[in-house]
Structure 1
Amino acid sequence: MTRSPRNLHEHLRDQVGQDIVAGRLAAGTIVKAEDLRARYDVSLSVVREVVRVLESLGMLRPVKRVGLVVLAMREWTLLDPLVIRWRMTEAPAGQLRSLTELRVAIEPEAAALAARHATAEVAEEIMTLAARMRSSGRQGDVEAFLDADVAFHRAVLGAGGNELFAAFDTVIGEILAGRTGAGLMPQFPHPDALQWHFDVADSIGRQEPGRAREAMAKIVAKADDEMGSVWADEPRHPGR
């Protein structure tokens, strides 16, 4: 089947991005657009479009009269959903560990802020999403549970009125989808985890920030505990 120009662009973008993430195109490698055209068997116009995206993500840098230099991880836009997705595909253990640790640091405080500042309408929406999670979780409907779970955490992040926490919502979506896609989400979530989501929602509705923070801390700590074995032997690379 012939790919549409859009699909061809996205396919090449993902291929090159994953090759950089996996080290198949190692940091410091110098390539030219023509090299990429030959390597991936596509047109130069598609290569140029993809290169622009990867430049914007800090993964490639043009050097005059030299070509394109593949950049090290410290230059990447690590919280961009595309980069997260590529790393989740090529190195899921390390990516899940880093993102889960980030959740542990951010989400409890976001829940406390939501308890201070959420409107009544948003608090009701969060409670409704907690109920959807409980229903789909008890039924073992993984897809419906994921949809409700992502919506719940996005709503909490946005409810406190902090635009930086709210911007973290796309990252949360990639984390939860990646965990589910990697088969690390149980079909029937632990009853305690379902109750803690209700506790977060109830605390937000009652404007109890301390209780909201504590309940969300339990949720992310449970995720950390459930997945810890996945990255137990994964090395860290300080300053990478």
Structure 2
Amino acid sequence: MGYREPPDRKSMHSQIVRDVGIRIVAGSYKPGDLLPPEPSLCAAYEVSRSVLREATRVLVAKGLVISRQRTGVIVRPRSDWHLLDPDVLYWLIQTRPPAEFVETLLTVRRIFEPAAAQLAAEVASAQGVQAIAEAYAGMEAAQTPEELLEPDLAFHRRIAQATGNDLLAYIGNMLSLALRESIKLSSRHPDTHALSLPRHKAILKAISNRNPRAARRAALVQLEATRKDLSEILDRDVDRA
């Protein structure tokens, strides 16, 4: 179950999780803060204690709060948050200025993607390389930025999968949510398709040729170019404001 979209009005459990989760991630409730007491929240949302406690259990599972008897529900330090949880990551994206989100994501990508591409070039099976090539073919066939999105995401996920490392594949899959928002932003660049294809093709070629150093270098070049594209878009938005 996800808590990213506004919930149905009948689903008060979902509404409480989403509302409180966003407030924590946005900083309205800060680490160390006590959430409002149970009676106050029950009255505010017009729910029973059982509904509220179920919502609290979800927030506990996401690492956002800890519940202590006789003390209440306390917001945990940011270092304890499960930032790769799809809901927590989505709330983080939605509550951060675009430039801050972009810089955070690009830093993670610069650490993760070149290393994944390098390892894939070393160890990927023929099937793994073919899966990456098929994703790239989907990118080539795309006629609009909207059609480009899913194969672009698949391209990056499949590189992580091609490493043969389950944990890297998991991280790559979890990063897809943040990457989706980044690609949506970069798709506003007028030349997004023409610019994106040769960058990704260079990565595919290096992996196909079993050249780890070239794969790493191509991934770094692609990320640096992405940074420039996104900077142009964000600068334009500032000028228009």
1:106 aligns with 2:109: no
User: In the alignment, is residue 196 of structure 1 matched against residue 199 of structure 2?
Assistant: yes
Partner of 1:156: 159
Secondary structure in 2 aligned to 1:79? coil
Counterpart code for 2:8: R
SS at match of 2:66: strand
Please name the residue that 2:21 is paired with.
17
- Give the alignment of 1:110-149 within 5 angstroms: 110-136=116-142, 139-140=143-144, 142-149=145-152
Give the C-alpha shift of residue 92 in structure 1: 4.1
Q: Distance in 2 between matches of 1:41 and 1:179?
A: 38
Question: What does residue 211 of structure 2 align with?
Answer: 208
Contact 1:85 1:178 in 2 (8 A): no
CA contact (8 A) 2:128 2:161 kept: no
| Alpha-carbon distance in structure 2 between the residues aligned to 1:72 and 1:35 | 24
3-state SS of 1:132 partner: helix
Q: CA deviation at 1:186?
A: 2.6
Q: Is the 8 A contact 1:62 1:69 kept in 2?
A: yes
RMSD: 2.4
**Superposed CA offset, 1:100-125 (max 9, x none):** 10101110110011111111112112
- Structure 1 window deviating more from structure 2 (14-23 vs 162-171): it is 162-171
Change (3 A) 1:52 1:125: same
Aligned to 1:39: 44
Q: Say if 1:84 and 1:95, in contact at 8 Å, map to a contact too.
A: no
Deviations along 1:119-177, one digit per CA (max 9) or x if unpaired, are 111211211211211221xx22x332111111110000110122332121233211222
Query: Which residue identity lines up with residue 221 of structure 1 in the other structure?
Result: E
Distance 1:122 1:192, change over 3 A: same
User: Distance in 2 between the 1:168 and 1:97 partners?
Assistant: 18
Task: Measure, in 2, the Cα distance between the counterparts of 1:135 and 1:92.
Answer: 33
Q: For 2:195 and 2:132, how far apart are their aligned partners in 1?
A: 18
Whether the aligned pair in 2 keeps the contact of 1:131 and 1:198 (CA below 8 Å) is: no
Q: Is the 8 A contact 1:115 1:212 kept in 2?
A: yes
How do 1:56-71 residues align onto structure 2 when only pairs under 5 Å count? 56-71=61-76
**Residues 154 and 92 of structure 1, relative CA distance in 2, 3 Å threshold:** farther
Unmatched segments (≥5 aa) in structure 2:
1-6, 236-241
Contact kept in structure 2, 1:133 and 1:145, CA below 8 Å: yes
How many residue pairs align between the two structures?
225
**Does the 8 Å CA contact 1:88/1:96 hold for their aligned counterparts?**
no
Shift of residue 60 of structure 1?
A: 0.7
Deviation (angstroms), 1:207: 1.1
Gaps in structure 1 of 5+ consecutive residues: 232-240
TM-score scaled to structure 1, two decimals? 0.83
Which letter does structure 1 place at the counterpart of 2:211?
E
The aligned amino acid for 1:102 is V
C-alpha spacing 1:205/1:18, structure 2 compared with 1 (3 Å): same
Match of 2:85 among 72, 80, 84: 80
Q: Which position in structure 2 is the counterpart of 1:166?
A: 169
Bigger RCO (CA 8 Å, 6+ sep):
1
Which shifted more, 36-45 or 169-178?
36-45
* Residue of structure 2 equivalent to 1:185: 187
Q: Partners of 2:9 and 2:45 in 1: how far apart?
A: 16
Identical residues among aligned pairs (%): 30
Q: Helix, strand or coil: the match of 1:77?
A: coil
Q: Tell me, what secondary structure is at the counterpart of 2:192?
A: coil
Q: Structure 1 residues 33, 180: CA separation in 2 closer, same or farther (over 3 Å shift)? A: farther
